[in-house]
Structure 1
Amino acid sequence: MSARAPRTVVVDDSRFMRGLITDILESGGVEVVGQASDGREALSVVADRDPDVVTMDVEMPGMDGIEAVERLMADTPTPTLMLSAYTAEGAEETFEALDAGAVDFFAKPGGEVSMGVSRMEEQLVETVRSVAKADLSTAGSERREARATAAAGSAGAAEATESEPTATAIEPNTTLVIGSSTGGPDAVERVLSALPGGADLRGIVVQHMPEAFTGRFADRLDAACELSVREAEDGMRIGRGELAVARGGHHLEVANARDGRLRLSVIDEDRGQGVRPSANVTMESVAEVVDDPVVGVVLTGMGSDGTDGVRALSRAGARVLAQDEDSCVVYGMPKRAAETGCVDTVAPLEDIAAGITGEHA
């Protein structure tokens, strides 16, 4: 018996976009049970129709998508996918919606909107189906509370390091590579904010995210943790205490590793992975060129990206960790990674940082 089609409410202030998104979803086997033109109407429709998932525009007159998500998570928690403008401004608003409890986002492309969205029909349908299955245990107030706690811990640790470096069990010259997708922005931030700034660590975050968003994501991570975080640039070198976020729409490889520093290569080609950036591409390059200790991590996300990567890392002698099912928003990427038999530790999100530093190895 086939699984029941997810029931969806489509929220957008544009009648054209509501119709277009509805057509795309219904053509992909998703049942649209209601529409709304702004956040206030969305709250009423969701309460009445009780959908499995909501697609929510970010910018709307009256009650915008951010406020609507906050209210939704407080009153009738429902997995929500944000539809956001493909701009830096849209990225900022989208991250605010994720803070409020939205599960993931789908970026509206620029130019001819209808043509752009139509080309990504399959991806939109897949994302809606994935978000419909999301676990909301870390959404809304609980997610904001976790973020506030992590920020306070990071600030306290930063004060401590002024007088004495934070103790860590991590091996010298360790390279960290993290792969994540749906639910990843929050998960990555929580892991990095728990890492000590004094660790002899450098690394890469590969988060499935459009190009207009990864720079802002890097800025958020930089503000949230003791490590220095920047968006990757071609030819950039990173050393102790530095992390790079793979640029959206591109793959990222480690070109070489010398004297504890990694030189990065940003690649603008497909590579047949289905996603860009791909954790597989980055992890395989790390396995090939880095001789120092390596820790690979696969966090929440849909799909199977990272599966080939953890195989390569394991063959090269790296330690590999994966987030457990109970703490994942979507248990896709970590599940596929664990099924390879190449994952050394499967742990709750709250224990991943300790696993990276070797405290729970």
Structure 2
Amino acid sequence: MSKIKVLVVDDSAVIRQLVKEILERDPAIEVVAVASDAYFAERKLKVHAPDVITLDVEMPGMDGISFLEKIMHSNPTPVVMLSSYTDRRAAETFKALEFGAVDFVTKPKANIGEGIEALAEELIAKVKAASKANIRKTQPKLVAAPAHSVDEVVARKRFTGSKHGDGVIVLGASTGGTVAISDLLVLLPKDSPGIVIVQHMPEQFTKAYADRINGLVDLDVREAKNGDRVRRGAVLIAPGGRHMLLQKDIQGYYVQIKDGPPVNRHKPSVDVLFRSAANSAGHEAIGIILTGMGNDGAKGMRELKDAGAFNIAQSKETCVVFGMPRVAIELGGVDKIASIEEIPRLLAGRDRRAS
């Protein structure tokens, strides 16, 4: 079986070497070349024809965003961005995803120390996923982790709620999801049922992501805080590094933000959100699972269906990575398979709002 060929592009020699050493821990990956800037990278891209490129956002001369835009037009190749966190870098990272990057990781520090194992696991997994990504859909219009059960964060209960409550939409996504979520939300009316979202993303980036989407859509989008109410026309995005649960009291739905072990290697976890929605919303919920690697959310979607929810999975043809939706379909938790453009019609047909 041929190895995944990777080109590492970064202006820091220390980071280039660190990324190379991390990736070559995995026998399925070979770093075929490194480059210090976009001009050297362009030449090495032609010579080595890599399967995946890791690309620094900020470089001298032609920056990473400009180089990404150029190669996506001339020689589309899966790209994983490396980004340091600042407000400006976060905005540039989301712009890169819109321009065609498959995913991103927070750029490692030279003295990363104890965080090296978590970084290695994330980087290797994302490069492997990128090598299989459907990059045509992203162009603008592993090391084993400790296994933690969703039961450690939220116990499973039987839904005993009302029969005529206002609906709630729970949505999960991973690789490719930042763009897919934006593409979906821009199509929804401003009086849509409340939407609660888990998108796998580092904690420093989720607020910037929510703020960016908020400026693009008719809905009120923000990073969730503990106790936030779920209401029509509003979208709550789980903060990175914390789990988000859907709860219900006499006033309606609200979110609980809590700590806990990573579930399916992720915090926030889609399975945690979906399990909590099955417990608290049952048939009043609509579950949506979008593009992403792995299986997070698949079991939770089955639990949602068993509780009476209506569930939608993004179609293979429109996913960047058909991982999470595929497993959810295989487990029998999905009622409809649809493209992003088809989902709003399905949601409109399920809206329980009184006319």
Indicate the TM-score class for this superposition, using the shorter chain for normalisation: 0.7 to 0.9
* Contact 2:172–2:198 (CA under 8 A) maintained in structure 1: yes
2:223 to 218, 231, 242: 231
**How far did residue 272 of structure 1 move?**
3.7
Secondary structure at the counterpart of residue 304 of structure 1: coil
Secondary structure at the counterpart of residue 131 of structure 1: helix
Secondary structure at the counterpart of residue 350 of structure 1: coil
Q: Does 1:192 align with 2:185?
A: yes
TM-score by length of 1: 0.86
Q: Does 1:45 align with 2:36?
A: no
**How far did residue 356 of structure 1 move?**
2.0
Q: Does 1:350 align with 2:338?
A: no
Which digits, 9 at most, give the CA deviation of each residue in 1:187-225, with x for residues without a partner?
0111111111133x0021110001111111111222222
Percent identity reads: 40
**How far did residue 116 of structure 1 move?**
3.0
Distance in 1 between residues matched to 2:233 and 2:286, nearest whole Å: 15
Distance in 1 between residues matched to 2:269 and 2:350, nearest whole Å: 28
**Larger CA deviation: 216-225 vs 127-136:** 216-225
Amino acid at match of 1:208: H
Distance in 2 between residues matched to 1:354 and 1:43, nearest whole Å: 43
Secondary structure at the counterpart of residue 205 of structure 2: helix
Query: 1:222-301 to 2 correspondence within 5 Å?
Result: 222-259=214-251, 261-270=252-261, 272-290=263-281, 293-301=284-292
Partner of residue 152, structure 2:
none
Which digits, 9 at most, give the CA deviation of each residue in 1:3-57, with x for residues without a partner?
4321110001111111111111111121111111012221221122111100001
Distance in 2 between residues matched to 1:291 and 1:69, nearest whole Å: 43
Unaligned runs of 5+ in 1: 146-170
* Contact 2:85–2:204 (CA under 8 A) maintained in structure 1: yes
Partner of residue 122, structure 2:
123
2:197 to 205, 214, 230: 205
Partner of residue 31, structure 1:
30
Distance in 2 between residues matched to 1:272 and 1:286, nearest whole Å: 16
Aligned CA distance change for structure 1 residues 45 and 108 (closer, same or farther; 3 Å) = same
* Contact 1:249–1:277 (CA under 8 A) maintained in structure 2: yes
* Contact 2:298–2:333 (CA under 8 A) maintained in structure 1: no
Query: 1:40-189 to 2 correspondence within 5 Å?
Result: 40-109=39-108, 112-113=111-112, 115-140=114-139, 143=140, 145=141, 173-189=166-182
* Contact 2:282–2:309 (CA under 8 A) maintained in structure 1: no
Partner of residue 157, structure 2:
none
**How far did residue 117 of structure 1 move?**
3.8
Which digits, 9 at most, give the CA deviation of each residue in 1:280-299, with x for residues without a partner?
00111111112562110000
**How far did residue 172 of structure 1 move?**
6.8
TM-score by length of 2: 0.88
Partner of residue 215, structure 1:
207
* Contact 1:193–1:225 (CA under 8 A) maintained in structure 2: yes
Distance in 2 between residues matched to 1:61 and 1:40, nearest whole Å: 10
* Contact 2:137–2:319 (CA under 8 A) maintained in structure 1: no
- Which protein is richer in helix relative to its size? 1
Distance in 1 between residues matched to 2:42 and 2:71, nearest whole Å: 6
- RMSD of aligned C-alpha atoms? 1.9
Which digits, 9 at most, give the CA deviation of each residue in 1:77-124, with x for residues without a partner?
100000111333321111111122111101125683365344421221
* Contact 1:82–1:104 (CA under 8 A) maintained in structure 2: yes
Partner of residue 321, structure 1:
312
Which digits, 9 at most, give the CA deviation of each residue in 1:149-199, with x for residues without a partner?
xxxxxxxxxxxxxxxxxxxxxx97210011000000110111111111133
Unaligned runs of 5+ in 2: 142-163
Which digits, 9 at most, give the CA deviation of each residue in 1:311-340, with x for residues without a partner?
111011000000111111001000001001
Amino acid at match of 2:303: A
Aligned CA distance change for structure 1 residues 13 and 109 (closer, same or farther; 3 Å) = closer
Secondary structure at the counterpart of residue 274 of structure 1: coil
Distance in 2 between residues matched to 1:295 and 1:319, nearest whole Å: 5
Distance in 2 between residues matched to 1:217 and 1:194, nearest whole Å: 18
Q: Does 1:311 align with 2:307?
A: no
Q: Post-superposition, which runs of at least 4 consecutive aligned residues in structure 1 deviate over 4 A?
A: none
Amino acid at match of 2:17: G
**Larger CA deviation: 19-28 vs 85-94:** 85-94
Amino acid at match of 1:46: L
* Contact 1:251–1:278 (CA under 8 A) maintained in structure 2: yes
Aligned pair count?
328
Amino acid at match of 1:239: R
Secondary structure at the counterpart of residue 115 of structure 2: helix
Distance in 2 between residues matched to 1:270 and 1:341, nearest whole Å: 27
